[in-house]
Every structure is written in C-alpha cells, then in structure tokens.
A and B are shown apart, each in its own frame.
Chain A
Amino acid sequence: MLFIVCLGFLLSIAILFIHKFIKGNWAWLSTLIPLTSFLYFLSFIGDIAQNDVIKVSYSWISSYSVDLSFMLDGLSLLFVLMISGIGTLVFWYTSSYLKGHEYLDRFYAYLGIFMAAMLGLVLSDNLITMFIFWELTSISSFFLIGFNNESKSSRKSALLALGITGVGGLFLLAAAVILGQVTSTYTISEMLSMSNEIAMSSSYTFIVVMIFLAAFTKSAQFPFHFWLPGAMKAPTPVSTYLHSATMVKAGIYLILRFSPILGETSLWNTTLITIGAITMLYSAIQMLFRTDLKAILAYSTICALGILTFLTGLGTYEALVAAMVFIVVHALYKASLFLITGIIDHETGTRDITKLSGLKQGLMPIAVAGFVAALISGGVIPTLGFVGKDLIYESTLHFKNNAWLLTGIAIATNVLLFYGGFLVGVKPFLGKKPEALPHLHMPSIRLWLPPMLMVLLGLVLGFMPYLLGDSLIMPGAEVLSRGESGLHLKLWHGFNTMFWLSTLTIAFGVIVYLVLKPSDKLLRFSEKFEFISPKSITQYLVSLFKIMSKYWTMLFQNGYLRHYVATYVTFIIVLVGYLLLKDPVLKIDYNTLADLTVYEIVIIIIMFLSTLFTVFTPSRLAAVAAMGIIGFAFCLLYLFYSAPDLAMTQFSVDTLTVILFVLVLYRLPKYLKFSKNYLRVEHGILSTIFGGMITFLILKVISEPKNSEISNFYAENSYVLAKGKNVVNVILVDFRGSDTLIEITVLIVAAIGVFGLLKLRLKARDKK
C-alpha cells in the first residue's frame, strides 16, 4: 500500500529525468499512475463491503510513535477511490488542456505530489503522519494555484490559500499533540475506544476547537472561505481536482473521521450545524452575484462543503449516510461542470456567463453532458443527485430539534445550488451564438471524455444507487455511526414528504433560473459590500501586521552599524546590570594597593592617558600613535606579570599594526567628525556606563575564589606528557595543537584576503 500511496511522489521524482518525454505527445501516459492506484483500491471493494478494515503499518520514527500506518475502511475507501478516480480523469484531461505548455512537466509533478499526499492523508491512521500529508496537500496546492506564476493575482491567491490552509494545518498539529497527550497514542483507530476519556478531559474543548479550525480552513467554511474563489486562478484541471472534488473535502474527511471520537456533544454538533448553515446560505447568496463561470462554481463548492459540515453536525446515522452520498454526488457533478467550464474556456477564450450563449452549435455532446451535470446538481430524478437530496431532507426532517428550520435552510440552499448548476451547465449552451465568439468544433477526446464519463456514472448510480450504497456508503457509515446500520439507498421512495420537498426545490430552482439574469450590475452591486467581507478584513489585518513588523524591524535593523552596536550594548547593560545590582556589595582588599610599585603606577597612567588621547585627538596620526603606545604599555604589563610570551607577541603585532595603519593613512580622507554633538554625548554616556559595568563585573569576579583545576592539569603534565617546560607554549602547540592549526589557517585566509584586496584591479563599470 505504501508503494501505491507513494506512486505520485515517484512520478514527480521521475519527471526530473523524463521531463522532455512528458512534455511531448506522451503526457497522457502519466494517467497510468492514478489509474493504477484506482484499480488497486477498487480491488478492496469486496473486503470492505464485508466491513473489513485493512491495516498496514510501516515503522518510521517509532521512538516518537510516528509510523506510516495506513487504514483502509469504508470511509477512506470512498475517499481514495474518489481521489484516484477523479485523478485519472484529470491527468487524462490535462494532457490535452495544457498541451504544449512550457511547464507541463512541472504541472504533472505537482499534481503527482498532491495525489500522493491526498491518498496518504485519507489513509493515515497516525495523526502526525496525517498532519504531514495534510501540509503536503497545502503546499502542492500552493504551487498549483500559483502555476501561472507570471500573473500577480495568481501569486497573491496562491499565497492567500497557503496562508489560510497552512495555518489550519498548524491547528491540526496542536490538536494532534494534545490528543496524543490525553490518549497517549497517535493512532486514530485506538482513539475510537477512548472517546469517553477524551470527552471527560479538560482539554476536550481545546481539541475540538483546534480540529474545527483545521477543518474549516481547509474546507473553506465561513469565515475562512475566501481563499477558495481566489484559488480559481489555477488552471481548470486544478480547480476540478483540488478545489472542488478532493482537497477541500479533506476538512470534511477530518470531521467525519473524528465524529465518532469527539462527536455527540452539543459543542460539536451545534458548532458544525451553525457554521455549516451560515456557509451554505452565505455562499449560495454570493453565487447569485457572480458572472465568471468558475467563480459561480467556487461559491457553489463552498456551499456544498457547508452542506457537508452541516450534515456531519447533525450526526445522526441518516445524516452521515447523506453526507457520504452527497460527497460522491458533489464530486461527480462539480468535477464535470468544472471540466466543461474548462472546455468552454479553452474553446471560446472567455468564462463570462454574460458573453456566452448558443454554444450547443458545435459542442452538442458537451451541452448534453452539461445538462446532465446540472440535473445531478439540481437533484432531479433519476440522477444520483436526487438520492443525495432525498437523504439530506430526510436527515433534517428527522432531526430532534428545529427540524423545519433546518429543512428550510436546506431547501433554500438547494434551490440556489440548482440555479448555480443550470447557470454553468445549461445556460452557456442555449440561445443564439453571439458574433463575437469564434467558430466552435468538438475538442479532443481527452477533453470531453472525462466529464462525459462522470455524468454517465451519475446517471447509472441514480438508477442503481445500491451499487454505491452497499459497497461504499454502508461500510463507511458503519465506521462512523455507533452501531446503527441497515439503511439501503433507493431511487424511488414513493410520494412522501421528501419527494414533495424535492419537487418544491426544483420548482423554485427553475423560477430563480428563469427570473434572475446574471449581469455585471449585480456583480458591481455586491462589490460595494466587499469591504466588510472576511477577505477584506483579513487583508486589512495582514497589511496592518506588515506595517507593524516593518516598524518593529526598523527599530532594531535600520542598517546603521552604530545602531546595532548601541542596541547590543544597551541590552548587555540591562541584562548583566540587573544581575549585578541584585547583589551590589563588593569585597575589595584595599591593602594590595599598598604594594604598588612606581613602574606599575606609571604604566597605568600612560595607558590611561593614551586611551583618552586616542579617543579625543583630532589627528588620525596622533590617534594611531597613541594606540601604539597603549600596545607597548601592554607589553610592559605582561612582562611584569609573568607573561613573557604575551609581551613578545604583543610587541611584534602592535608594531606591525601601527606600520600598516601609517602605510594606508596617507590615502585616506580627512579625519572628520561626522556625528552630531548630542549623539556623541549620548554614546559617551552609554560607553561610560558599559565600561563601569565591566569594571564592576571584574571586581566582583576576582573577589571570588578561583578554580585552577585545568591550569593545574596543564602545569602538572606539561613536562611529564609533552616534554616541554614553557607551559603556555606546550598548551598552544601540543595540548591544543589542532586549535592552533586552525588559527594559522585563519591567518592564512586573512593574508590571502589582504593580498587579494591589494592586487584587485576593478573593472571600469564596478568603479561607478
């Protein structure tokens, strides 16, 4: 199973080597990859229908109990079949849709990564692995949305989508970690038996909220829905695959998967019902104002996702069955509508509904497919859509509270979904073809076959819903529900309430379709309210955040060296000063001052004066000379205090430095005072405090007893082990010999640098 999951990854790695091949006429061969997975998973239908659960585990990071464990049950089988099945059609479709595109190879690579990640996500039995796949889908989605990376709006949409879904992923990680702590396992199937413990634990609310945030951001629920219409900037196959049929359903999958673990509390049910209902209505109304075919489909997708959230929130057995059927229904009609939109776009070059009509001339088969897709979307008998809508009404009507209110909301949404479906699937094909549109002819079979197959499946399953029901939906519902079973899908239930409600929906839908004409006026009207939409508010917050972080950055990172140094120094003063002031008492033995010799006092005075002179002299030469004097005073100091080696080194180095300085001096400009006076005073005070603090620190340290363990080791062993009597030398060349070697290397590098800089001849253009 791991191999099948990773096929997509393998494909994208392989594309690195065979990209020329993929870009040529053999692009359609990549279809074999999803097809293989599809057939592989199809072979499990028999086992799953017997309510078997297939578990495979590969050990990965076992010490953190993160393993690649996969679980195939009814629910995940439904999803993997959808992912690989629609994947097959989309791979096939793309080979013609993006034929000859410069980056077709990249596109397939991203698509491969996405498919593998998505399969991994729905198969994972380990929460951490699930999180990794979850984030992988967000990342591959980012690349796919931004596929037309020359377009600014495309890049912006990609970033927005990544921002929202990426943050959502982090919520999932938070939930996973806390769940892992509560249940001391990351395995989802093991959590099933612990739902009571989880519900009792104090982190329950936190976990649920985190799971919700993850699911709502991924599945575009209000108020996080706004990234999805933006994601329509992606090429149409991507919109079909990621942003209607599969990726956005990952959030739904998550809440479905967790409803047996976390569900059946009022927090769980009420939130899902409320958010689902708001999303349904909000996006259904938004749909009325759109004129771009893909925008209409985007909002109708959000609407469908709202319905799914809503159904999961109801949480009854009927509702869960309804949700699972509706997932299939939606995938079938939405994917085909998207693909049809892609064909229209491909053939006419526009997606504006107000400019499209009469396309049935030349595109008749597509028109038929569009009509059937619209029927499925509208839930007209005898399609699978009817079965789905029937189940939705059944579950709202049988819900214990506010049944009629919920049913009302469901009807209103379905009316608008009907309208949306017909708007995209039927309207462009009817009427007279405008002069502006080019002459149309049927596109390649690779374009029209996929939508055709899907609507056909929608029809067949409509007549024989038990094919779907017994093999996938029932085993899936079995996993989710607590022991209930036995609902069988049927197309015809007789003239019951649900049937009349369905008829009512269709009637209203037809009226709305006939009365309402999409126009630019409506679009402009809705744009007036754009400023209070969640998208604008988020963007406003983001820009505010940017301004703030820029200000914050400039506060510390303004590009002036002295500013950085001043910040460091201030920071050290505050930190160390705070510690020192906590115990400000100094134990100083003033008696040592009595032993001072004249030489020592004279050296200190010389050092002190030349330091002051170095700082304040207006002449550069004087400053360098004074610095040399400090160096030589250091030599004497080292000599007095038993460090002859240091004295010698300091002497030679100091001489060299001064000579070097003098050599370059004459080439330099005048030694000017650049800084303003108040800045000099400010820096003076800062430096003085810093110096004072260092003095204080030293006095504090030397009043403590010294630990000479290491020094004693060297002193003891200098001759015994290293046969040397000058301990400092022995340390440098023997005990720490390799350090000295590195030090020499550093010097050589510096010397090469110096040499290079001296010999460097700049080209004329660099001198400017």
Chain B
Amino acid sequence: MEILLAIMTGVLYAAGTYMILRRSIVKLIIGIILFGNGVNLLIFLLGRITKGNPPIISPELKHFTDIYADPIPQALILTSIVISFGLQAFAIILVKRAYKVLKTDDLDMLNTLDEDS
C-alpha cells in the first residue's frame, strides 16, 4: 500500500504545483489545497502506516502492549489541517474582495511593479 500512497502523494504534488502555476486566483487556491493534502500524506507516510491500531491506550492499561500507529505525524497533520483551513478561509475571502474591487481574478492583472505605480 505504501507504494500506491507514495504515487498518490506524487500525483497530488504534481497537481498542486500545476494549479499554483495557473493565472486564475481560484485555481491558485485549489492548487494550494491539493498541495497541502499532498504534504499531509507525505508526513503520514513518513510515520509508516499501521492498520487498525490507533494510538489510544486501552482503558484498562497504562502502556501500549500491542503495536500502535505513530502519534507524532498525526499530531503534526492535525495542526497542519487546522492551520491550512485558516489560510484557505482567509484566501477565499481575499479573492472575493479582490474581485469586488478589481473585477478580475487574473493574477497578471493584479501585478504592479514598483516602477508602474
């Protein structure tokens, strides 16, 4: 399964990068979200995958006795998901405002070099 997930991560990275390279801001945001998913999967894979053994200690025990999934990547990804949500929400609203003011979502039209301003 790791192999398939690794390939999937690569696909998400490629799709994310491609979308970030587009001129439309909406595509840019979609690209960032795809990219973020790819990164999460990458972190997840680096902790190796374990089936059906969440890192939760059984109620009657004080330690793990069986194998358990690595908790650190999970903690990291949890943080990452929440933070990227904040970023996405802000970006989406920003796009909306930018469109309202500038009537375009073409990145190149939002481009002002110092000399032109």
Q: Which A residues have a C-beta under 8 Å from some C-beta of B?
A: 559-562, 565-566, 569, 588, 590, 592-593, 595-596, 600-601, 604, 607-608, 611-612, 614-615, 620, 623-624, 627, 630-631, 634, 637-638, 640-646, 649-650, 653, 656-657, 660-661, 664, 667-669, 671-672, 674-675, 683-684, 686-688, 690-696, 698-699, 701-702, 706, 708, 710-711, 714-716, 718-720, 725-728, 731-732, 736, 739-740, 743, 746-747, 749-751, 753-754, 757-758, 760, 762, 766-767
Instruction: Return the CB mask of B90-103 against A: 1 if under 8 Å, else 0.
Output: 10111111011101
In the bound complex, residues from chain A placing their C-beta under 8 Å from that of B46 are 698, 701-702
Q: Which residue of A lies closest to B23 (CB)?
A: A674
A593 to B7, CA, bound (A): 13
Per the 8 Å Cβ criterion, residues 11-36 of B in contact with A are 11-15, 17-24, 26-28, 30, 33-34
Instruction: Return the CB mask of B33-58 against A: 1 if under 8 Å, else 0.
Output: 11001101110111111111111111
B59:A675 contact, CB within 8 angstroms: no
Q: What are 20 A-B contacts defined by CB distance under 8 Å?
A: A561-B28, A562-B22, A562-B23, A592-B2, A604-B4, A607-B8, A611-B12, A611-B34, A614-B19, A614-B30, A640-B52, A643-B44, A660-B88, A692-B14, A694-B10, A718-B57, A725-B56, A728-B74, A746-B86, A750-B87
A607 to B26, CA, bound (A): 21
B19:A671 contact, CB within 8 angstroms: no
A708 to B74, CA, bound (A): 14
A634:B37 contact, CB within 8 angstroms: yes
B99:A667 contact, CB within 8 angstroms: yes
A562:B111 contact, CB within 8 angstroms: no
A-B pairs with lowest CB-CB distance, top 6: A691-B14, A695-B10, A642-B69, A750-B86, A674-B23, A691-B10
Chain B contributes a number of interface residues (CB within 8 A of A) equal to: 90
In the bound complex, residues from chain A placing their C-beta under 8 Å from that of B57 are 718-719, 725-727
B8:A604 contact, CB within 8 angstroms: yes
Most buried by A among B9, B26, B48, B74: B74
The distance from the CB of A560 to the nearest CB of chain B, in whole angstroms, is 7
A657:B75 contact, CB within 8 angstroms: no
In the bound complex, residues from chain B placing their C-beta under 8 Å from that of A596 are 1, 4
A611-B15, A728-B75 are known contacts; what are 6 more A-B pairs with Cβ within 8 Å? Answer: A614-B19, A641-B44, A660-B92, A671-B24, A736-B75, A766-B101
A714:B72 contact, CB within 8 angstroms: yes
A627 to B10, CA, bound (A): 16
Most buried by B among A600, A650, A702: A702
Contact of B17 among A565, A675, A726 (CB under 8 A): A565
Q: Which residue of B lies closest to A661 (CB)?
A: B92
A560 to B71, CA, bound (A): 40
Provide the main secondary structure of the chain B interface.
Answer: helix
A612 to B18, CA, bound (A): 11
Contact of A711 among B49, B59, B72, B78 (CB under 8 A): B72
A699:B93 contact, CB within 8 angstroms: no
Contact of B100 among A607, A667, A688, A715 (CB under 8 A): A667
B24:A757 contact, CB within 8 angstroms: no
A601 to B8, CA, bound (A): 12
Contact of B81 among A615, A653, A690 (CB under 8 A): A653
The distance from the CB of B8 to the nearest CB of chain A, in whole angstroms, is 6
B42:A656 contact, CB within 8 angstroms: no
In the bound complex, residues from chain A placing their C-beta under 8 Å from that of B23 are 562, 674-675
A620:B10 contact, CB within 8 angstroms: no
The distance from the CB of A651 to the nearest CB of chain B, in whole angstroms, is 10
A509 to B34, CA, bound (A): 85
B2:A702 contact, CB within 8 angstroms: yes
A646 to B38, CA, bound (A): 15
A596 to B49, CA, bound (A): 13
Q: Which residue of A lies closest to B46 (CB)?
A: A701
The distance from the CB of A624 to the nearest CB of chain B, in whole angstroms, is 7
Most buried by A among B1, B57, B58, B96: B1
Contact of A566 among B21, B52, B93 (CB under 8 A): B21
The distance from the CB of B56 to the nearest CB of chain A, in whole angstroms, is 5
Number of A-B contacts (CB under 8 A): 274
Q: Which B residues have a C-beta under 8 Å from some C-beta of A?
A: 1-15, 17-24, 26-28, 30, 33-34, 37-38, 40-42, 44-59, 62-64, 68-72, 74-75, 77-79, 81-83, 85-90, 92-97, 99-101, 103-108, 111-113
B26:A640 contact, CB within 8 angstroms: no
B42:A698 contact, CB within 8 angstroms: yes
In the bound complex, residues from chain A placing their C-beta under 8 Å from that of B52 are 640, 642
The distance from the CB of B5 to the nearest CB of chain A, in whole angstroms, is 8
In the bound complex, residues from chain A placing their C-beta under 8 Å from that of B82 are 649, 653, 743, 747
A750 to B6, CA, bound (A): 32
The distance from the CB of A614 to the nearest CB of chain B, in whole angstroms, is 6
A664 to B97, CA, bound (A): 10
Q: Which residue of A lies closest to B53 (CB)?
A: A642
Q: Which residue of A lies closest to B62 (CB)?
A: A719
Most buried by A among B1, B21, B81: B21
Most buried by B among A656, A719, A731: A731
Most buried by B among A642, A708, A718: A642
Most buried by A among B10, B71, B89, B97: B71
A674:B3 contact, CB within 8 angstroms: no
A363 to B5, CA, bound (A): 95
A627:B33 contact, CB within 8 angstroms: yes
B56:A695 contact, CB within 8 angstroms: no
A641:B49 contact, CB within 8 angstroms: yes
The distance from the CB of B100 to the nearest CB of chain A, in whole angstroms, is 7
The distance from the CB of A587 to the nearest CB of chain B, in whole angstroms, is 12
Asked if A641 meets B24 with Cβ closer than 8 Å, knowing A593-B3, A657-B89, A757-B97, the reply is no
The distance from the CB of A637 to the nearest CB of chain B, in whole angstroms, is 8
A694 to B58, CA, bound (A): 37
A539 to B93, CA, bound (A): 50
A566 to B20, CA, bound (A): 9
In the bound complex, residues from chain B placing their C-beta under 8 Å from that of A608 are 8, 11
A646 to B33, CA, bound (A): 16
Contact of A694 among B4, B13, B79, B93 (CB under 8 A): B13
In the bound complex, residues from chain A placing their C-beta under 8 Å from that of B74 are 643, 645-646, 728
A715:B55 contact, CB within 8 angstroms: yes
A624 to B18, CA, bound (A): 16
B12:A683 contact, CB within 8 angstroms: no
Asked if A634 meets B85 with Cβ closer than 8 Å, knowing A699-B6, A732-B78, the reply is no
Contact of A561 among B8, B15, B107 (CB under 8 A): B107
B92:A664 contact, CB within 8 angstroms: yes
B26:A671 contact, CB within 8 angstroms: yes
B69:A687 contact, CB within 8 angstroms: no
Contact of B77 among A646, A690, A706, A758 (CB under 8 A): A646
Q: Which residue of B lies closest to A756 (CB)?
A: B93
Contact of A690 among B13, B44, B64, B97 (CB under 8 A): B13
In the bound complex, residues from chain B placing their C-beta under 8 Å from that of A732 are 75, 78-79
In the bound complex, residues from chain B placing their C-beta under 8 Å from that of A701 are 46
The distance from the CB of B27 to the nearest CB of chain A, in whole angstroms, is 8
Q: Which residue of A lies closest to B52 (CB)?
A: A642
Contact of A702 among B6, B58, B78, B106 (CB under 8 A): B6
Q: Which residue of A lies closest to B86 (CB)?
A: A750
The distance from the CB of B7 to the nearest CB of chain A, in whole angstroms, is 5
Contact of A668 among B11, B56, B95 (CB under 8 A): B95
Asked if A720 meets B62 with Cβ closer than 8 Å, knowing A631-B37, A646-B78, the reply is yes
B90:A641 contact, CB within 8 angstroms: no
